[in-house]
Amino acid sequence: MKTSFSRNFTTIATILLLALTILGASFQTQIKEYLTNTSISSLQQDADVVTNLAESYCVEGNLHNRDFLLNLDVISQVTDTDIVLCDSSGYVILCSDAQSGCSHQGLQLNQDYRQKVIDNNGDTVTGVIQGLYTDQRHVVFKPIVSNSQTTGIVIVSTPLDFTTQILNRISNIFITAALFVVLLSVLAVSIYARRESRPLRDMARTATAFGHGNLEARVKVEDDYSEEVAELALAFNNMASSLQKSEYKRQEFVANVSHELKTPMTTISGYVDGILDGTIPPEKRAYYLQIVSDETKRLSRLVRSMLDISQLQQEQGIPEEKKMHFDLEESLGQVLITFEKKINDKNLDVEVDMPDHPVYTMANRDYITQVIYNLIDNAVKFCPPGGTLGVRIREGGSKAYVSVSNDGETIPPEELPLVFDRFHKLDKSRSQNRDSWGLGLYIVKTIVCSHGENISVSSKDGKTEFTFTMPLVI
C-alpha cells in the first residue's frame, strides 16, 4: 500500500514531467516554425535582390558579365546561401560556388515545375532538390523577367543544417534547464509532501493509541496545518471526545447496573439458600418468599425499562404510522385515577388545572401515557404526607404544555441538569426509594425527545414541577 508521501510525490512528479514535456515540444515547434519562416523570408529577400540584379544585366544582354558574377559571389557569401541561375528552358547556366562553371551546369528543372514557378511568379519549398542537391534545404524560386519575357529562373537555397543546429542548441539548453528544474522540484515536492503527510501520520498514531485504550489521545493542531487538514484534525478530536464520553457513560452504565443488580440478587440468593438449608423456619418462609417475589418483580421492571429505552433509541424518532390523534386531558385523567390509592394513603391534595375543552395532540398514545405515569409516580413518591400534587395542561401557540408538580424538598440547582440522567438519584447511597431505579425520568426524556418535543424541570421554594410539550392539533 502506497503512503500519502509516495502518492503525492508520484502525482506531482508525473504532472511536472508531463508539463515539461508538453512545454518542450511546444517550444521546439514554435522555434522551428519561427526559424523556418525567418529563413524563407530571408531567402525571398535575397532572391528578389538577385532577380533584380539579373534582370538589369539581362537588359545589357549578358549574364556572364564579370561584374555580375562578382556580385553574385558577394551576395552568396554575405547571405551564406547557394545561388543557381537557370535559363528560360530550365537549364542551369550559373552557380555561385563556381563562377566559371559547376557540376550543376547542364541540369534541367522539371518542366512542369518550371512552368509552375513562372505562372506563380515564384515558389518556396523545403526538401531535396533532385539533380541539384542531396541534402535537405529551404529553397526559393524566382523567375527573371526582361521585356515581359521570362529569361531565366533564380534559385536561392540554404541547408537545413543551420536550423537543425539551432534547434539542437536550444534543445540542449532546455533539457539542461529542465533537469535543473526537475531536481529542484523533486527536492521541493519531497519537503512539501513530507510536511503535508506529517499531520496524517500524527493522526494515524493518535488513532492507534486511541484504539488501544488511551481515551485521552488527541491530535495536536499546528498553526502551519492546511485548512482541510486542520478541519480533519478537529473532526477527529471531536469524534474522540464523543467516543470518550460514550465510553465513560457505558462504563458508568455497567457499573450502575451491576450495583443495582447486586443487592436484589444477593437478597434473593440469601433467602432462597436459607429456605433450602433450613436456616429459615417453615413458619417464616412465606414472609421471606414474599420478599423474594418483590425483588424479582423489581428486577423484571428494570429489564423492561431498559428494553423500552433500547427500543426508543433504535427507532430514533416516533414513526408517523405509530402516532394517533387523542385527547391529552383524557389520558392524564385516566393515569391519575390509577394513583387514587397511593394518593389517599398519603392524604395528598390534588390540584387539577385543565381547559374546559379537549386538548388534542398527535403522538404515540402509549408512550405519552407512560410519560404521564412516570411523572405522577415520581411526584407522589417524593411528595410528603398531606402535601399537594398538581397536574395542569395549558395551551400556547401550537403547543400543549403538560405539567406535574409536587410539594417536597427542593432539588439543589446543581442537581437539576442531572435529574434526567440514567440511574441518577438524589440519594447517592441508594438506600432510600428502593423501588426507584433512576430510569423513570430518563425514559420520560427519551420518549418526549423522540417526538421532537422538550421537557424541563424547576424546583424552588419547596415545589418541584416537570413540564413537557406536545404538538397541539385540532
Q: What kind of architecture, by CATH, is found in domain 4-164?
A: 2-Layer Sandwich (3.30)
Sheet containing 463-471: give its strands across.
349-353, 388-396, 399-407, 463-471, 455-460
Is residue 391 pLDDT above 90, yes or no? yes
Residue 430's pLDDT is 38
Q: Is the pTM of this model over 0.75?
A: no
Residue 450's pLDDT is 86
Please give the residue that has the higher pLDDT: either 309 or 185. Answer: 185
- Which cell numbers in the block locate residue 388? 399537594
| Distance (Å, whole) CA 306 – CA 284 | 34
- Segment of 35-39, 55-59, 311-315, 384-388 carrying the highest mean pLDDT: 384-388
What's the whole-number mean pLDDT along residues 321-329? 91
Residue 435's pLDDT is 45
Q: What is the CATH number of domain 317-471?
A: 3.30.565.10
Residue 402's pLDDT is 95
What's the whole-number mean pLDDT along residues 118-144? 84
Residue 97's pLDDT is 66
| Distance (Å, whole) CA 90 – CA 101 | 16
Please give the residue that has the higher pLDDT: either 263 or 239. Answer: 239
CATH class given for the domain over 227-313? mainly alpha
What's the whole-number mean pLDDT along residues 74-90? 84
| Distance (Å, whole) CA 370 – CA 224 | 55
Domain spans of the chain?
4-164, 227-313, 317-471
